[in-house]
Amino acid sequence: MPPHGLTPPLWSLLALVVWTVGLLVALTVARLRHLAAGGTVREFGVPDDRRLVWRLFRAHVNALENLPLFVAVVVAAEAAGVRSATVDVLSVLYVTARCAHSIAHVSPGAGLKWNLRLVFLTAQITCVLGIAATIVVDA
């Protein structure tokens, strides 16, 4: 274990939590701006990929939906004492793909970028399954 006590998978997990909180902050700011411009709370739940509030909401919810999968494999790797360059790399790749997925989700024209989001989601699933497989093999 590195001298600071955190392995790359744990650093990656912390980064992912910070990213998810960052999305929440951005969503809160967008909602406050929406309300300040005369919008209503009722409009927050109206699906419309043209509105930043909706895209941020979906990106944040999506990040929350995927967080437990990554938490599970990182905690399992740590509990099993698995120290592997493969797990380290896959952890960093997972966070990178998760952030890229959120950026694609939030960017204008996000509804048209479903194929790009699918690529990043596929990368994330591959990373989670790769970490799980490494745990099974190395534990």
pLDDT in tens, 14-71: 999 999 999 999 999 999 999 999 988 988 888 888 889 999 999 999 999 999 999 9
Q: Which residues of 55-89 are buried (b: 16+ CB within 10 A; e: fewer)?
A: bbbbbbebbeebbebbeebbeebbeeebebeebbe
- Average pLDDT score, the chain: 92
Radius of gyration of the chain (CA): 17
Summarize pLDDT for 20-31 with one digit per residue, the tens: 999 999 999 999
Give domain 8-138's CATH number out of 1.10.10.10, 1.20.1730.10, 1.10.10.60, 1.20.120.550. Answer: 1.20.120.550
**% of the chain surpassing 70 pLDDT:** 95
Residue 86 DSSP code: H
pLDDT given at position 49: 82
Residues 6+ apart with CB under 8 A from 83: 1, 7
Query: What's residue 3's pLDDT?
Result: 54
Cα dihedral across residues 93, 11, 72, 67: positive or negative = negative
Find where tokens 């009722």 sit: 42
Q: How far apart are CA 134 and CA 9, in angstroms?
A: 13
Backbone angles phi, psi at 38, to 5 degrees: 100, 5
Q: What is the pLDDT of residues 79-132, one digit of tens each?
A: 999 999 999 999 999 999 999 999 998 988 766 677 889 999 999 999 999 999
pLDDT for 121 equals 95
Sole residue written with tokens 């600071």: 4
